């Protein structure tokens, strides 16, 4: 039907301004940047469970972590590197020799070497000059390449760094053999139109062979910016399952993948029917509940209660669903409540072959609406209180912290 092609036709009219790569490598950061979300931590064995699910779903590259961080983190990276996964296992480190050594010892054959690039990071965090950053970057890439590693070079806060410095830095590491260049919108300040200009300028100045973007969601634009980058020829989008990550999180794996598959008609190589199971696994292990209205994997994403919507869905699912839930390994739900209409009620009654008179149907619908409106909210309020108590201050509580201080005999004075 013509109506069913409206979105497809609309996207086709704008296709001439896109430069989508022939091959896309989905790069997952759940086990590294996702784990940096406050309150989230994965044991090596938990990382392996998630990594196996990521690999099984078709992720091309997964960042196992930063092995120099701790003995357990190093064990986790080595565990994943030796697990025989189809996905490429990558380890990350700073532009410091000990970090690169830790990556080499981990057994991972893919490395992401990162350094900050913006003036605010160099002045207040690294306390380094641009020249010192450039020299450290060149040394680290050279060290990793000498060990036979595939090297992705990443700058933190790329989009807020002086463009001339960005150009010099990336050209220098390319000359040392860096295989992939990564642009990071670390605090999510790009908008799609601005990012399009930025990426075109970067491509003109640096001429990357293979490039990636790492977008944060501080303004809710991580997925939109990531899709914009792919339109500009970026080959490897960095994503996190359920959008986990620092602060407001990262570009959501499921949203980027399904955006490509459904809106762009681009085959990502992902087994999309496994995405919901992957999402639930990460929700369980990370301990971060999904918002009910989270796109695609939220519990309400394919649920319908309003009479107008349920009537439309019963006639044709495309009326209120842009894709079939089975594509994500999900099922549609018809919710009965205050907003339920007659059509959904009739459909529900068919489950037991009930065919009441119009008068009884009207009475049943009235009772149903009254029951929906009378449901108390105390259970929800109790849940929200507990949720806020846990997530307003994740991690170690003040009581636990000062208890550790006392155990070690550290002298303190109360203010």
> Would you give per-residue pLDDT tens digits along the chain (415 residues)?
445 555 566 666 666 678 899 899 999 999 999 999 998 999 999 999 999 999 999 999 999 999 999 999 999 999 999 999 999 999 999 999 999 999 999 999 999 999 999 999 999 999 999 999 999 999 999 999 999 999 999 999 999 999 999 999 999 999 999 999 999 999 999 999 999 999 999 999 999 999 999 999 999 999 999 999 999 999 999 999 999 999 999 999 999 999 999 999 999 999 999 999 999 999 999 999 999 999 999 999 998 777 777 778 778 888 888 999 999 999 998 777 787 778 878 888 888 999 999 899 888 888 888 887 887 788 889 988 988 888 877 888 888 999 999 999 999 988 7
Tokens at residue 389, please? 């108590």
Q: Which among 68, 63, 64 has a CA at the least distance from the CA of 43?
A: 64
Distance CA(271)–CA(189), nearest Å, equals 31
What does the pLDDT read at residue 1?
A: 42
Are 57 and 275 contacting, i.e. CB atoms less than 8 angstroms apart? yes
Q: Which among 336, 244, 332, 248 has a CA at the least distance from the CA of 281?
A: 244
What does the pLDDT read at residue 220?
A: 98
Are 92 and 66 contacting, i.e. CB atoms less than 8 angstroms apart? yes
pTM here? Answer: 0.91
What's 17-286's CATH class?
A: alpha beta
Question: Strands, E, within 277-376: which ranges?
Answer: 303-304, 333-334
Contacts of 408 (CB under 8 A, 6+ apart): none
Chain centroid offset of residue 402 CA: 34
What does the pLDDT read at residue 8?
A: 60
As a dihedral over the C-alpha atoms of residue 213, residue 219, residue 223, residue 227, rounded to 10 degrees, the angle is: -60
Contacts of 33 (CB under 8 A, 6+ apart): 63, 214, 238, 240, 244, 245, 246, 250
End-to-end CA distance of the chain: 73
What does the pLDDT read at residue 19?
A: 86
The burial of 14, by beta-carbon neighbours within 10 Å (0-12 exposed, 13-18 middle, 19 or more buried), is given as: exposed
Instruction: Indicate the domain borders of the chain.
Output: 17-286, 303-374
Distance CA(346)–CA(118), nearest Å, equals 61
């Amino acid at each position: 039907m013509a109506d069913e092609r409206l979105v497809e036709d609309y996207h086709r009219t704008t296709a001439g301004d896109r430069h989508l790569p022939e091959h896309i490598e989905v790069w997952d950061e759940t086990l590294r940047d996702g784990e940096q979300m406050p309150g989230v931590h994965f044991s090596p064995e938990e990382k392996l469970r998630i990594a196996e699910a990521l690999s099984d779903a078709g992720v091309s590259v997964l960042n196992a972590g930063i092995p120099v961080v701790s003995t357990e983190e190093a064990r986790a990276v080595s565990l994943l590197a030796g697990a025989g996964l189809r996905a490429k296992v990558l380890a990350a480190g700073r532009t410091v020799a000990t970090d690169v050594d830790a990556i080499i010892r981990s057994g991972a054959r893919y490395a992401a070497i990162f350094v900050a690039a913006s003036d605010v990071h160099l002045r207040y965090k690294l306390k380094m000059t641009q020249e010192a950053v450039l020299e450290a970057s060149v040394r680290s890439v050279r060290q990793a390449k000498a060990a036979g590693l595939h090297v992705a070079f990443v700058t933190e806060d790329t989009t807020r760094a002086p463009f001339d410095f960005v150009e010099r830095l990336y050209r220098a590491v390319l000359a040392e053999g860096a295989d992939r260049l990564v642009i990071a919108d670390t605090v999510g300040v790009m908008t799609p139109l601005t990012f399009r200009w930025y990426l075109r300028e970067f491509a003109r100045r640096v001429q990357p062979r293979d490039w990636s973007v790492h977008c944060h969601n501080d303004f809710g634009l991580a997925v939109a910016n990531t899709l914009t980058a792919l339109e500009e020829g970026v080959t490897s989008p960095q994503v996190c399952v359920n959008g986990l990550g620092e602060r407001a999180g990262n570009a959501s794996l499921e949203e980027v993948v399904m955006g490509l598959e459904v809106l762009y008609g681009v085959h990502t190589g992902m087994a999309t029917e496994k995405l919901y199971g992957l999402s639930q696994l990460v929700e369980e292990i990370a301990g971060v509940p999904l918002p009910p209205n989270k796109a695609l994997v939220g519990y309400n994403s394919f649920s319908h209660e309003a009479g107008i919507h349920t009537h439309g869905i019963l006639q044709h699912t495309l009326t209120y669903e842009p894709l079939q839930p089975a594509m994500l390994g999900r099922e549609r739900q018809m919710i009965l409540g205050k907003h339920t209409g007659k059509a959904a009620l009739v459909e529900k009654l068919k489950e037991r072959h009930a065919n009441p008179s119009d008068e009884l149907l009207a009475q049943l619908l009235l009772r149903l609406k009254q029951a929906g409106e009378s449901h108390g909210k105390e259970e929800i309020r109790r849940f929200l209180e507990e949720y806020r108590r846990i997530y307003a201050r994740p991690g170690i509580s003040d009581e636990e912290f000062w208890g550790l201080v006392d155990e070690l005999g550290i002298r303190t004075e109360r203010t």
